[in-house]
Structure 1
Amino acid sequence: MNLPNLLTLSRIVMIPVFVVVFYLPVEWSYIVSALIFALAGVTDWLDGYLARKLDQSTPFGAFLDPVADKLMVAVALAVLIEEHSAALLTIPATVIIGREIVISALREWMAEIGSRASVAVSYIGKIKTTAQMAAIVGLLAFPPGNTLAYVAIALLYMAAGLTLWSMVLYLKAAWADLFPEERESA
């Protein structure tokens, strides 16, 4: 167990803390849950940076890091869907969660057939993640109906659009492996 892996594990431990804080019947629950989510985002960046800088990448960390990220994002979006109770937020949130499931399955399958590199993280994915994290922090920090919550929803739509775009790029990169009969008949 090394520091990058401990940081990744800390994100998973933060999930129940985040949920409890979010639902506390106190005025500060929104801002504190937003800070917890933001801290999780920082640990996501930091664990990857430290793993590369200290040459401490491990198979366990490579497995757990994306799991921790997807769990935190899915849980945050789930509580936000419930809190806002509006299609305006539910639509981009379900697009983002659905894409994460599709791409996780695609990466797992591609790794199984030895083609994992063809579905590596892209630059678009990094922009998408940044927009998504900023949107979720904003939505957590500001209650439904607040003007800044609408700004965060707009940012979430941008993230959902980038999510779909990056998914198309991943599927395009994997297409020949998904449909080898098309490659053979061409």
Structure 2
Amino acid sequence: MSSREKILSAIRGISIPQKSLPDVPDFRLSGDLEEGFIQSILGNKGEVLSMDEFIRWLPSMHFSKVISLSSHFKNYSTITLPEDPHDLEDLGLAILDGQFAVAENGAIWLEDSNLGLRALPFITEHLVIVLDRNKLVETMHQGYNLIGGAKSGFGLFIAGPSKTADIEQSLVIGAHGAKSLRVVLV
């Protein structure tokens, strides 16, 4: 018997008593779920708009290139979605549907099937996510339970515009992605 086999045999012979995993507490938020979500988005340097506010805001921005994959704002696109994400390098605005959101931190789940191109929420200068207000959950625990059985090959949580900070505590918004995030609650 080789040294390797002796070591592995000795390891296999060790008796380890079975231990059950601890119960995960059922974390709950107090207060209004929608208000908690709005405060989380604001804390993440995002903005929350009603549908009417968004419709008034959009023309004032004068975006030359807009892609809308949202079921609520399909007619707002000024260009069609290209096959190559490199063609989106000067995209001003992307409008996407979020599948659900987490109130405790403002994280919004976006799934591959709603993105068109995976680069879209990162390459656009400004990002708008349209979200059904009835699709809010309290905690990330509940959010992860919703995506546990997802069949999509890709998904992500977005909780605000791109941000980075250095050791001197200088916060830069839009450093690695969208400069702004607006959430339209419908």
Structure with bigger strand share is 2
Structure with bigger helix share is 1
Q: TM-score, normalised by structure 1?
A: 0.22
